[in-house]
């Protein structure tokens, strides 16, 4: 487990996530190799903020993100792959975003962003966050800290788009 939360300059961990079925493994590093992308994590599929704000905002602004240079988009949560697939269908993601399950919390632990949701959701989950990745290196990390990670203030699309402009200006 990471001793401190992920930060800019850290490498994307070499972890396996799941797409739709437990046998459909995805190596996260393979998705970002030689590419510019974004990733956003959330406590769980079908939960209020995640379903009302976070995922819908990334979907409705997909084209704007792509125009800003994003080649790969990943949404990840501590759920099983069947739940993530059902959530993708429910939200008509249609392949615009990779909807990946961190069913064993491999990524969550490696990034040091475990959140205790046992009283409400029954288990530990991933804190709400987002980041920009270039060729497997985090360029930005936006980790929500208010209310144990349940707030949605700094990990959204507006933050990512602003950071993309700043990175392009450098």
pLDDT beneath 70, residues of the chain = 1-3, 117-122, 146-150
Distance between CA atoms of 64 and 69, rounded to whole angstroms? 9
pLDDT of residue 116: 75
pLDDT of residue 153: 84
pLDDT of residue 52: 76
pLDDT of residue 6: 95
* Token pair listed for 66: 């792509």
What are the structural domains of the chain?
16-169 (3.40.30.10)
pLDDT per residue as tens digits for the range 72-87: 999 999 999 999 999 9
The yes-or-no answer on residue 50 being catalytic is yes
Distance between CA atoms of 131 and 55, rounded to whole angstroms? 14
Label each residue of 108-150 as H, E or C. HHHHCCEEECHHHHCCEEECCEEEEEECCEEEEEEECCHHHHC
pLDDT of residue 54: 86
Which residue of the set 12, 26, 50, 101 is catalytic? Answer: 50
Distance between CA atoms of 151 and 115, rounded to whole angstroms? 13
Report yes or no: 153 and 54 within 8 Å, Cβ to Cβ. no
Among residues 87, 95, 81, 73, the alpha carbon closest in space to that of 17 is found at 81
């Amino acid at each position: 487990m990471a001793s401190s939360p992920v930060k800019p300059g850290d490498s994307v961990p070499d972890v396996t996530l799941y797409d739709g079925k437990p046998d459909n493994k995805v190596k996260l590093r393979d998705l970002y190799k030689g590419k510019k992308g974004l990733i956003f994590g959330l406590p769980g599929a079908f939960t209020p903020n995640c379903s009302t704000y976070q995922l819908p905002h990334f979907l409705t602004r997909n084209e704007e993100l792509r125009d800003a240079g994003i080649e790969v988009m990943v949404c990840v949560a501590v759920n099983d792959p069947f739940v993530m697939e059902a959530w993708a269908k429910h939200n008509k993601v249609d392949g615009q975003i990779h909807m990946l399950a961190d069913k064993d919390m491999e990524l969550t632990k490696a990034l040091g962003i475990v959140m205790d949701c046992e009283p409400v959701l029954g288990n530990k989950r991933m804190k709400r966050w987002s980041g920009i990745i270039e060729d497997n290196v985090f360029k930005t990390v936006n980790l929500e800290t208010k209310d144990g990670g349940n707030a949605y203030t700094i990990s959204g699309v507006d933050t990512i788009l602003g950071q993309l402009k700043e990175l392009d200006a450098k």
